Amino acid sequence: PQVKAFVTQDIPLYHNLEMKHLPGADPELVLLSLRYEELERIPLSDMTREEINQLVQELGFYRKETPDTPVPEEFQFAPAKSLPILLPCHVPTADGKTPSKCDKEEHPDL
């Protein structure tokens, strides 16, 4: 009943959160990357509605006041993390080559 209440009453308030019903499957929150690659599955069966709401907000999903409330521009891609920024070592040198050794910072997306 708790998960069903979240699905019917709360999901419409979250930006970039969709519900896909799979008959017979236990409810899970499936997190995808910007490229729609599966990042993580979180079982929801044993969680209360309040716990699920807290979880999705901690993950960075934007909650609107009403389903029709516009989403501010800075949250349009939420909860996705920033895309990797080209670090100076990725910028081609004067001869057009990119340095081969570089400490690159990973920026996981959600």
SS3 label, residue 38: strand
| CA–CA distance, 29 with 77 (Å, rounded to integer) | 18
pLDDT band at 110 (very low <50, low <70, confident <90, very high): low
In angstroms, how far is CA 50 from the centroid of its own chain? 19
| CA–CA distance, 105 with 76 (Å, rounded to integer) | 24
Q: Are 2 and 47 in contact (CB under 8 A)?
A: yes
Q: Which domains does the chain have, with CATH numbers?
A: 2-75 (3.40.30.50)
* Percent with pLDDT over 70 in the chain: 73
| pLDDT tens-digit readout, 20-41 | 989 999 999 999 988 889 999 9
pLDDT at 8 over 70: yes
| pLDDT tens-digit readout, 76-108 | 988 886 544 444 544 455 555 555 544 444 445
How far is residue 83 from each of residues 13, 55, 74, 100, measured CA to CA in Å?
Answer: 25, 23, 14, 21
Cut 0.75: pTM above it: no
